[in-house]
Amino acid sequence: MEGGRNSARLSRQLFPPSVNYLARWILFLIFSGITTATVIFYYGYRSDWWQGQQMAPDQPILFSHHHHVTELKIDCRFCHSTVDQSSFAGMPATSTCLTCHSGVFTDSPMLAAAVQSEQTGTPLKWNRVYDLADYVYFDHSVHVSNGIGCTSCHGDIGNQRLTRKAQQTYMSWCLDCHRDPAQYIREPKDIYSPSAPARSNLTENRKVELLHQFRIGGQHLTDCTTCHR
Amino acid sequence: MSSMKTWRSLDELAGSRELDTWLRDEFPAGAAWLDHQELGSTEIRRRKFIQLMGASLGLAGLTSCGRQPQEKIVPYVDQPENTVPGVPKYYASAISFRGHARGILVESHSGRPTKIEGNPDHPASLGATDAVAQASVLGLYDPDRSKTVLHHGRISTWDKFDEAHREILQRHASESGAGYGILIEPTSSPTLKRLLGEMLTSYPKAKIYQHSGVAPTAPQPTVNFSKPDLILSIDDDFFTNHPDSLRYIREFTSRRKSGSKLNRLYVIEPTPTLTGAKADHRLAVRPSRIELVVNALTDSSIQLEPHESRFVESLRDDLKKFEGKTLIRIGSHLSPNLKKLRSKSIQGQTPPDTITGFPGLDRLTNDLTGGAIQSLLILGGNPIYNTPGDIPFKNALRFATFTAHLASHEDETSLACEWHLPEAHSLETWGDLLSYDGSPSICQPIIEPLYNGRPAICILKPEKAPYELVRNTWQLLGNYTDLTFDDFWKKSLYQGCASPEALRKASTLPTYTETDESSDYNSSLREDQIDLVIQPHPHIGTGEGANNGWLQELPHPFTKIVWDNAALVSPEFAKSRKLKNGDIVRLNQSIEIPIWILPGQADETVTLHTGYGRIAAGELGNGVGTNVFPLGHAKRISSLSNTGKTGELVTTQHHSMMEGRELYWQIDRNHPTNERPPEVPNITLYQNPAELLNGRYAWAMSIDLSSCIGCNACVTACQAENNIPVVGKEEVARGREMHWIRIDRYFIGENESDPRIVYQPVTCQHCEQAPCEVVCPVEATVHTADGLNAMVYNRCVGTRYCTNNCPYKVRRFNFFDYRIKKGKNDPRSLQANPNVTVRGRGVMEKCSYCVQRIQRAVIQADREQRRVREGEIRTACQQACPSEAIIFGDLRNEMSAVARQRKDNSAYSLLGDLNTRPRTIYLAEQTNRHV
C-alpha cells in the first residue's frame, strides 16, 4: 500500500521517455546554434559589406582619381604632398584645389564646396576611406622611400572614379608584406605609379637587389613596436 | 662598497612588521577595495559579485561589435608653408622661474602644445628643464582655469573692466596718481618694466609694490661651478632655489663624471636639500647654530659636538688646501656676519640687476590701512594665500575702494577682490623675460588663448595687442647695429634668446638688492626653543602648482610624500617627544600639521613646506595639505603640542622595494677598496646568446649615479611624454602610482640621524632575458630584435603575472580607466602625445625606452637609407635631465657613449646576479671624501 502510494507520487514527477529525445534535440540545437552564430558573426564581421570594402563613402566633393591621375597625369604628390616626409600623406588644402580650379570648372556645382570653403575660410571635411585602428602607427614616408608603392595598398587608384577602400586592413595583411617585402617591392620609378600592379612582377634577382638597395628585411619588421607604441 | 647599509626608511632600518606585510603583496588587498571604490559603500556579496561578473563577461564581447565610426580628414584651407601634418614643430620660448627666464622649446602637434623641452641655446637651460617647467604644459589645459572676467563674482567682460579701470585712473589723475597702486610679482620682463615706467611717468605719485611667496634671489656673483675644486654651501640650495640652478647642476656634475677630476662639496644645512644630498660632507645644524659652527672654523676655542668638530676640522683643512680654488655660497637669508666669508671664495662676475625691487606687502598693508592707497591693481600672484600670517593684508585690502586681480585661477585673492581678470598662460601670449645673466628672451604664444585671457602687459595698455607691446619694447631697447629690426627680432625669436647686450637697460625702475640690514635671520641660539624653517615646496612652490596633478603626485625628494605636506623633524626629536609619523601636532597655537620623521634633519628643528592648504586652487588642490603661512615670519616654535589625532600621509618610499640586495654602489675615490660591483655572470644554455637578439640596433641606457641629484625632472618629463595618468592620493596609498620611472631614495649608514642620502632612478631595465616575458600567458610582453622589452597593450589581459615576476618592480597596472572621456569638453585630452597609445583599464604598462622617439629616428634614418646616428635619439628622461646622468644609445656602435660607459670600471647591472642581463646599466657613485 505504502509502496503504491509512493510510486504513484514518483510517477507524477518522472519525465516521460520522450523527453530524452527532446533534451537531445535541445542540446543539439543550442550547440549548433552557437556554432552557426559564431560562423555568421565571423564571416559577417569580416565581410566586405561590413568592413566597407569597395564602398566609396560620401564626400563633400565627388573627386575622381581616375580623371586627375590617369587622364590628366597629375602626380600623387601634388596633392598628397607630405607622403614622403611624414606618417600622414597629407590632404590637399582648399587652396591646392583652387590652383587649377580658380581657372577651370569654377562654376561647376561639383566644386561648390571647395569654392565655399575658400570664401568662408572653413575647411573641407573629407570622410576617411582608410581608417586604421588608433593603436596602429602607420607611416607613409617610410614605405614610399623603401620601394613600396601607392597601389600596393590603395589598389588600382588610377581607375577609381570615386575613391574606395581597395583592401581590408587586417594585421594579417600588413604582416604578409612585413614578413616578405619582396612580394611587393618595386622599382623606385614605379612607386608613385597609379597603375602598377599591387604585387611585384619583378624577377627574383631584381627583388633581392632592391631589398638590398633599400636595406629592408630582417626581424625588426615584424616586431610589435614597429607599428604599435 | 657592498658592506654599507642602505635603507629606505626608519621602518626598514628597524625591521618593522607592518613593512613586511606591505611588502608581501605588491598591490596589497586589491579586491577588498572594490566595495567603496566602485559601488558606493554597498557591501559586495557573493551573489552580487557573480551577477556583476556574469554581466560584464556577457557584455564584454559586445563592445567589439559595431562599425568603426566614420572619421574625418580636415585639411587646411590654406596650408602654411613648412607645415607637415604629423610632424611636430618646436618653438623657442621662455617661462618664468622666480621672475627670471628659463629657455624652453615647446613641442606642438597641429597647433597644440604637448611637451616642454629645455632650449640648448639658452644659458639658464642648456637643454635641461626641471619638473615644474615640465608640468607647466598641464597647467595650460587645467580645466579649473578661470574663463571669464568676474565683477563681484558675476560674469562680466573685458570692455566693462577696461572702462572701470579707465575711470579709476582718471579719478586719480587729478592728484597725479596718488592713491593708485599696482602690486606685481618680482619680474625681469623688459616690456612690463617699460609699461610700469610709463605708468609712473604719467602718474608720478602712483605706487608700485611687489610680492611673491619666495623672496627674489639677490644677485650673487655668477660662477662657473665646474671651476672650483672645493665648494662650501652654507644653507644655500643652489640646485633648487636659484634661477640659474639648471646651469649650476650641469657644471657641478661635469666634475662628478667617471674619469673627471672630482670636486668636493661641503654643505651645512638644517634640513636635507638636493645640494646637501650630493655633498661629500654634510652637517645637519639647526639654523640658530649655523653661525656658531661656521665661526668655529676660525676660532678653535668654540666647543662643538664631536661630529660637528670632525666636520669643521676637515673643512678647515680643505679650505687651506684648496685656497683660491674654493667657492663659498651662503644663503641670502643668513646673517651678514657669515657673508664676510665670501671674501675667501672665488669671485665671480656680478650679474646685472634684472629683477624689479619695489616695497613689499608690509608697506602696502600700511598704505592701504592708512588710506594712502585706495585703488589697487594686482597683476598676478596670490597674496591673500601666500602672505605670512603676521601681515594683515587681507584686512587691509578691505579699505581699498577698487581692487582688481589678474590670475589664471579664481583663487583666494580673486575672491577678496572686486574684479577678477583671467590671465593668459605663458604658452598663450607674447611676453619677454631676462635670464639671470641678463640674456633677454621673447616668449611666444604656441596656441591662441583658450579662454579669453590676457597677460599683465595688456592690463596696463589694453588698447594694444601683446605682440605689439613686446615688439615695441625690443624696437626701443634693441642693440642691433648690423641687422634690420625685423631680422633681429626673428633671430631672437628663433633662437629663444639673445646676448645680454642685445637689449639696453632703459628702465628707471628700482632693482632688487639684498637687504643685509634685515633682521630676518636667525642667529641667536636658544636651547629651550625649537627652530623653524619654512621653505617653498620643491614642486608646489608657494601654491602655484597646487592644482597640477603631475606636481601633486610627484614624490617629495626626501620624504617621498605625495599630495601632502608635513612637519619634518629628526628621529631624535620625535623620540624625545614620543611622536610618530602622521601624528598631528599644533604649532605656535596656529596650525595643525602631521609629523614626518626625516633622517638627516637637524635636531630641534621643524621644517615646513608652503604651497598646501589652498582653499581656492581648483578641484585637485583644494584642501590638500596644510597651509603654513599663518605661522608668519616666525623663526622659532614656542609651542608644540600633540593633538592626539593622526593624519594619513601617503609616501612612496616603500613602494617597489627590491629587498635588501646590493642595489646602490658607491666608490670613494680616496678610500679605494677592492670591493667593486660584482661582475655580471653570463649563464646561458645557448651556444651564442648574442645571436638571439640580432637586430640592426641594440638599444641601451646607462645611468650615472654620480651625476644624478634626484631632482625628479625625469619623472615628470616621462609623464608628459608617455601620457601617464595621475591616480590620486588613495590609489598611491595602495601602491598604484603609474610613474614609469621612479627615483629610489636610500639612506646610507648605521646612524639614523645623520645618514648619507642617495638617489637611484629605476625604470624598466629592458632585460635581455626578461623574467616578465616568460610568464605572460598571452605574449603581451615580448622582446624586439633591437633589444626592447616591448609591451603590447592590445594583447594584455591584465593577469599581472609579469609584475609579480619582475625583480625591479617597474611595471604599472591600470586599475581604473584613466582615459579622459571624449565629449566632456575636458581640455586635458589636448595635452596627450599623439604618438603614444593612451592605455585603458586592465592593461599593464611600463617604460618603453621612449619607443616612439626611437621609431621616429629609425624611420627618418630608413628614409635616408642610413643608420641612426649617435645622439639622434634622446629619451624624455634623458632630455630633461639637468645633470646628463642618463645616456641612451646603440650598443652596436662601439664608439657610442653608452657602449663606452658599459666598459667603465664602475659600471654594474642592477640585480645582475639574477642573470637578467639588463640593457640599462648603472655607474656607481663616486665620492670624494676628505681623507
Residue pLDDT, tens place only, B449-466: 999 899 999 999 999 999
Cβ burial, residue A64 (10 Å; 0-12/13-18/19+): middle
Residue of A nearest to B696 (CA): A220
Residue A174 located in a structural domain? yes
pLDDT of residue B59: 66
**A169 lies in the same domain as A140:** yes
How close does chain A come to B819, measured CA to CA in Å?
A: 14
The pLDDT > 70 percentage for chain B reads 91
Q: What is the pLDDT of residue A1?
A: 42
In a domain, A98, yes or no: no
Q: In terms of pLDDT, which residue wins out, B59 or B834?
A: B834
* Distance of alpha carbon B793 from alpha carbon B851, whole angstroms: 14
CB contact under 8 A, A86 and B79: no
Q: Are residues A158 and A194 in contact, defined by beta-carbon separation less than 8 angstroms?
A: yes
**pLDDT higher than 80, residue B616:** yes
Specify the number of domains making up chain A. Answer: 2
Give how far A7 is from chain B: nearest CA, Å: 38
Number of A/B CB contacts below 8 angstroms equals 130
Task: Specify the CATH class of B149-216+355-436+448-502 in words.
Answer: alpha beta
Question: Which pLDDT belongs to residue B628?
Answer: 93
* pLDDT higher than 70, residue B515: no
Q: Are residues A43 and A130 in the same domain?
A: no
One domain for residues A24 and A85: no
Q: How confident is the model at residue B504 (pLDDT cuts 50, 70, 90)?
A: confident
A225 and B848 within 8 Å at the Cβ level: the answer is: yes
Select from 3.40.50.1820, 2.40.40.20, 3.90.1150.10, 3.40.50.620 the CATH code of B530-651: 2.40.40.20
Average pLDDT over residues B839-866: 94
Distance CA B906, CA B668 (A): 11
**Residue B77: which of A95, A223, A225 has the nearest Cβ?**
A95
B63 CB within 8 Å of a chain A CB? no
Q: Count other C-beta atoms under 10 Å from residue B863's C-beta.
A: 17
Contact between B759 and B709 under an 8 Å Cβ cutoff? The reply is: yes
Place of cell 665661526: B295
Nearest CB to A82; choose among B67, B86, B792: B86
- Interchain pair B85, A82: CB under 8 A: yes
Distance CA A150, CA A190 (A): 9
Is residue A118 included in any domain, yes or no? no
Average pLDDT over residues B897-908: 90
Same domain assignment for residues A133 and A192: yes
The pTM for the full model equals: 0.90
Of B143-152, B352-361, B393-402, B660-669, the poorest mean pLDDT is in B660-669
Cell of B262: 672630482
pLDDT at B35 over 60: no
Contact A128 B73 (CB under 8 A): yes
Q: How many angstroms separate the Cα of B112 from the Cα of each of B92, B141, B145?
A: 15, 10, 17
pLDDT on residue B660? 61
Q: What range does the domain containing A198 cover? A: 65-91+126-227
Q: How are strands ordered across the β-sheet holding B756-762? A: B6-7, B742-748, B756-762
Angstrom distance (rounded) from CA A208 to CA A206:
5
Least confident of A187-196, B199-208, B521-530, B749-758: B521-530
Residue numbers of B between 768 and 787 with CB closer than 8 Å to A: 782, 784-786
Name B170's Cβ contacts closer than 8 Å, sequence gap at least 6.
none
Residues of B in contact with A145 (CB under 8 A): 862-865
Per-residue pLDDT at B33 exceeds 90: no
Whether B746 has a pLDDT exceeding 80, the answer reads: yes
| Per-residue confidence (pLDDT) for residue B389, from 0 to 100 | 87
Check if the beta carbon of residue B443 is closer than 8 Å to that of residue B430.
yes
Is A34 part of any domain? yes
**CB B853, CB B843: distance < 8 Å:** no
Q: Are B478 and B488 in contact (CB under 8 A)?
A: yes
A145 and A168 co-located in one domain: yes
pLDDT in tens, B465-496: 999 999 999 999 988 888 899 999 999 999 99
> Which of A115, A225, A226 is the best mutation test for B, with the most CBs of B within 10 A?
A225
Helix %, strand %, coil % of chain A (to 5): 55, 0, 45
Q: Are residues A72 and A181 in the same domain?
A: yes
Q: What is the pLDDT averaged over residues B441-455?
A: 93
Q: Among residues B450, B599, B628, which one has the least CA distance to residue B537? A: B628
Q: What is the pLDDT of residue B39?
A: 45
What 3-state DSSP class applies to B385? coil
User: CA-nearest residue of chain A to B79?
Assistant: A93
> Among partner residues A88, A117, A220, which is closest to B784 by beta-carbon distance?
A220
- Summarised one tens digit per residue, pLDDT across range A115-147 is 999 999 999 999 999 888 889 999 999 999 999
C-alpha dist (Å) from residue B798 to B780, B792, B819: 10, 12, 17
Distance of CA B460 to the CA centre of its chain: 32
What SS3 state is found at B905?
coil
Could you say which of A91, A214, A218 has the minimum Cβ distance to residue B865? Answer: A214
* Share of chain B residues as helix, strand and coil, in percent rounded to the nearest 5: 25, 20, 55
Asked if A220 and B695 come within 8 Å (Cβ–Cβ), the reply is yes
Check whether B681 has a pLDDT greater than 70.
no
Give the rounded distance of the alpha carbon of B575 from its chain centre. 32
Sorted by where each begins, the domain ranges of chain B are: 149-216+355-436+448-502, 230-344, 530-651, 696-927
Letter for the amino acid at A75? Answer: D
Contact predicate B924/B758, CB 8 Å: no
Q: What is the pLDDT of residues A61-116, one digit of tens each?
A: 999 999 999 999 999 999 999 999 999 999 999 999 998 898 888 888 889 999 99
In a domain, A41, yes or no: yes
CATH code linked to domain B696-927:
3.30.70.20
pLDDT, residue B316, reads 92
Q: Which CATH number fits domain B230-344: 3.40.228, 3.40.1420, 3.30.2010, 3.40.50?
A: 3.40.228
Q: What is the DSSP letter of B592?
A: E
Q: Which residue has the higher pLDDT, B508 or A58?
A: A58
Res B731 pLDDT > 70? yes
Q: Are B677 and B907 in contact (CB under 8 A)?
A: yes
Q: List, for residues B80-93, the tens digit of each pLDDT value.
A: 888 899 999 999 99
**Interface touch B784/A135, C-beta < 8 Å:** no
**Do A219 and B788 make contact, defined as CB atoms within 8 angstroms?**
no
Cell 585637485 maps to which residue? B620
Q: Is B288 exposed, middle or buried (0-12, 13-18, 19+ CB in 10 A)?
A: buried
Q: Tell me which of A222 and A168 has the higher pLDDT.
A: A222
Say whether both A29 and A84 belong to one domain. Answer: no
Computed from CA positions of residues B762, B766, B769, B772, in that sequence, does the dihedral angle turn out positive or negative? Answer: positive
Decide if A91 and B852 are in contact by the 8 Å CB cutoff: no
pLDDT band at B349 (very low <50, low <70, confident <90, very high): confident
Q: What is the mean pLDDT of chain B?
A: 88
Q: Which of B206-220, B729-743, B777-791, B832-846 has the lowest mean pLDDT?
A: B206-220
Q: Specify which residues B532 forms β-bridges with.
A: B606
